Amino acid sequence: MTDFTRFDGRAVNDLRPVRITRGFTTNPAGSVLVEFGDTRVMCTASVSVGVPRFKRDSGEGWLTAEYAMLPSATAERMPREAMRGKVKGRTHEISRLVGRSLRAAVDLRALGENTVNIDCDVLQADGGTRTAAITGAYVALADALAVLKERGVVPGEPLLDPVAAVSVGIIDGVPCLDLPYEEDSRADVDMNVVMTAEGRFVEIQGTGEHAEFSRAELNDLLDLAEGGLYDLIDLQRAALDGALGEAVTLGEWS
């Protein structure tokens, strides 16, 4: 696009190397390790019979999500939220985003009165943890729903087409795809885009804390995001076609 050089040598429209490993742990029905460069998130999907009160007797299921960072995930250790006795606003906000995004990938009626719990625990953080979480959680969700179907406890086919997420932002006036921490922390504008395989948006969250953005800049950012998201969706599909425990990758891993 431009001859602007990113600090890690990528082009502005390049994703970082991405890796998805299914069957990362054995206990939950779905367990995935997703890596966007140095960002590493363990995404699991557990299933329980029954639904929360507000869905009872609706004939529909529910999906809820919790996102958290291990205290050692960041360069400077963060205090553990359980020890502080309360969850930070940022954590709540991302948990809610992950939940809404993944519900777009489930037919709640076909799920029957079952509940899926998505847990996204960040083992290592280098920017884009929420978008990696959503992208990986779709794969964990698919595995968990497959287990449910095998057991014959869901009335229909609850899994819908893939949902993936990616961050975009404007760095020194240049729109860029998939920001690591070094870029994210000094971006003028920061946007997270969640999209389905059909190219429809589930969520767009754009924030200009250091500078506002014009309609034209918004369009540039969405173009970049769409490009990356189709690649991520292809990788999600490849992971689900592969074998449990095998990793699928995008880009160069050393």
# chain residues binding its own copies, by CB under 8 A: 66
Candidates 110, 204, 240, 247: give the one binding its own copies (CB under 8 A).
Answer: 204
- Tell the smallest beta-carbon distance from residue 3 to its own copies (Å): 26
Strands (E), 105-162: 114-124
61 known ligand binder: no
The edge-to-edge listing of strands for the beta sheet with 39-49 is: 62-69, 114-124, 39-49, 30-36, 18-22, 247-250
Q: Which residues pair with 124 in a beta bridge?
A: 40
23 forms part of the interface with its own copies (CB under 8 A): no
179 and 169 Cβ atoms separated by less than 8 Å = yes
229 forms part of the interface with its own copies (CB under 8 A): no
Candidates 60, 66, 220, 234: give the one binding its own copies (CB under 8 A).
Answer: 66
130 known ligand binder: yes
179 and 187 Cβ atoms separated by less than 8 Å = yes
Distance set, CA 187 to CA 91, 168, 210, 223 (Å) = 21, 10, 8, 18
Binding letters toward its own copies, positions 87-106, x by CB under 8 A: xxxxxxx-xx---x--xx--
Q: Residue 120: CB partners within 8 Å, gap ≥ 6?
A: 41, 42, 43, 65, 66, 67, 68, 98, 133, 136, 137
Phi, psi of 252 (to 5 degrees): -90, 120
Candidates 85, 152, 243, 254: give the one binding its own copies (CB under 8 A).
Answer: 85
- Tell the smallest beta-carbon distance from residue 247 to its own copies (Å): 16
218 forms part of the interface with its own copies (CB under 8 A): yes
Which residue carries 């190219």 as its tokens? 199
Candidates 10, 15, 19, 31: give the one binding its own copies (CB under 8 A).
Answer: 31
Contacts of its own copies in 172-191 (CB under 8 A): 191
110 and 6 Cβ atoms separated by less than 8 Å = no
Residue count of the chain:
254
203 forms part of the interface with its own copies (CB under 8 A): yes
198 forms part of the interface with its own copies (CB under 8 A): yes
Contacts of its own copies in 116-175 (CB under 8 A): 117, 119, 121, 123-125
List residues binding its own copies (CB under 8 A).
25-28, 31, 38, 40, 42, 44, 46, 48, 66, 68, 70-75, 77, 80-93, 95-96, 100, 103-104, 117, 119, 121, 123-125, 191, 195-196, 198-209, 212-215, 218, 222
